Amino acid sequence: MRSKPNRTKAQSEIALGTLRPKRSSLIWYVFLAPAFLGILCFMVYPILESLRLSLFNSSGTGGTWAGLANYKTVLSSSEFWHSVYNTFYIGFFQMIITIPLGFIFASMINSVAFAKNFFKVIFFLPNVTAIVAAAMIFTFVLHPDMGILNYFLDKVGLPTPLWLSNPGTAKWAIILLGVWHWIGFVIIICLANLQAISPELYEASTIDGASGLQQWLFITIPNMMGTFAFLLITGWIGALQRFNEVYVIGGPTGSPNRSIQTVVAYIYEHGFTGFQFGIASAATYVLFVIILIFTMFNLKLTKMKL
């Protein structure tokens, strides 16, 4: 231990090119102490302990060795796979609607000649409200008989679904809420990156006689691929952890009829309403692996460098 700090001291002296009193590099660990204390207590320990719990029959204290029994229970539970299906279904449609729509809005805001900032502020507003408050408002907005959405749909002659009262349409209610809440974020990220595209590209193509639409298709969109990849990856990480709004609207079981129960809601149901810590921990590890694999898959798909 003693010789190593000396060596780094010597190195730093060489780097500085000075011959001054020796400085200790230990001080840097003091700078990092708060963060690493946190990482140890709230990251490393819980992740390992969670792995241990998943291998035990546990409801809090102690517990008996269970091997992979908890994983077997989870992986053979149709309720679990149903929650995986719900999570992916909601996430997929939220993503495929919000990213293109948000990009189109961002392009319009970026090119409109006036009130740019006004639109930026307005479109981002839903994202500022807590998703829990938004879910609370949406239980009424989406009410089949008294809700304002069905009132509008009826006015323009569209069908008026039962939304949250019907397991068949409940997921779409959550998707709608997700789109409304997330679109502002997509717009802000797209706008920031749109403004980072070099104006020279546009100038050159204008000289070549390209129309605005052609520029959008052949310059803007190819230059935004990295941004779409970023949104897809962060969007999926968030979507796979969806809980708040489905808990407020459908409770831990995701009513009606488990139609909106997400994986995290399944974990919450077993961990904190049933106190089946072993099963809940196994489910969290399965979710963890799903997130990792899916993120890797997205990184590959979008050819983004880690």
Which of positions 261-280 make contact with other proteins (CB under 8 A)? 264, 267-268, 271-272, 277, 280
Strand partners, 56: 65
Strand, helix or coil for residue 57: strand
Overall size of the chain counted in residues = 306
218 binds other proteins (CB under 8 A): no
Contact flag: residue 14 with other proteins (CB under 8 A): no
Place of tokens 């990849």: 229
Q: Does 74 bind other proteins (CB under 8 A)?
A: no
Number of residues binding to other proteins, judged by CB under 8 A: 108
Instruction: Name the H helices within the chain.
Output: 3-16, 27-39, 45-54, 69-75, 78-111, 116-128, 131-141, 148-155, 167-194, 199-207, 212-215, 221-223, 225-240, 244-250, 263-268, 277-301
Check whether the bond before 256 is cis (ω within 30° of 0): yes
| Cα–Cα distance measured from residue 163 to residue 150, given in angstroms and rounded to the nearest whole number | 9
Site for other proteins in 153-172 (CB under 8 A): none
CB of 270 to other proteins, least distance (A): 10
Among 27, 157, 159, 200, binds other proteins (CB under 8 A): 27
Is residue 221 part of the contact set for other proteins (CB under 8 A)?
no
Range in contact with other proteins (rule: CB under 8 A) among 34-42, 64-72, 75-83, 87-95: 34-42
- Site membership for other proteins, residue 226 (CB under 8 A): yes
Under the criterion CB under 8 A, does residue 68 sit at the interface with other proteins? no
**Residue 297 binds to other proteins (criterion: CB under 8 A):** no
User: Closer to other proteins at the Cβ: 53 or 90?
Assistant: 53
> Which three-class secondary structure state does DSSP give residue 55?
coil
Give least dist CB 70 to other proteins, A. 12
Q: Binding to other proteins (CB under 8 A): which residues in 176-215? A: 180, 183, 185, 188-189, 191-193, 196, 212
Of 171 and 179, CB closest to other proteins: 179
C-beta pairs of 192-196 under 8 Å, 24+ apart in sequence: 193/224, 193/226, 193/227, 194/106, 194/107, 194/110, 194/220, 194/224, 195/110
> Comparing C-alpha atoms, which of 237, 274, 235 is closest to residue 252?
274
Show contacts with other proteins in window 107-136 (CB under 8 A).
108-109, 111-115, 119-126, 128-136
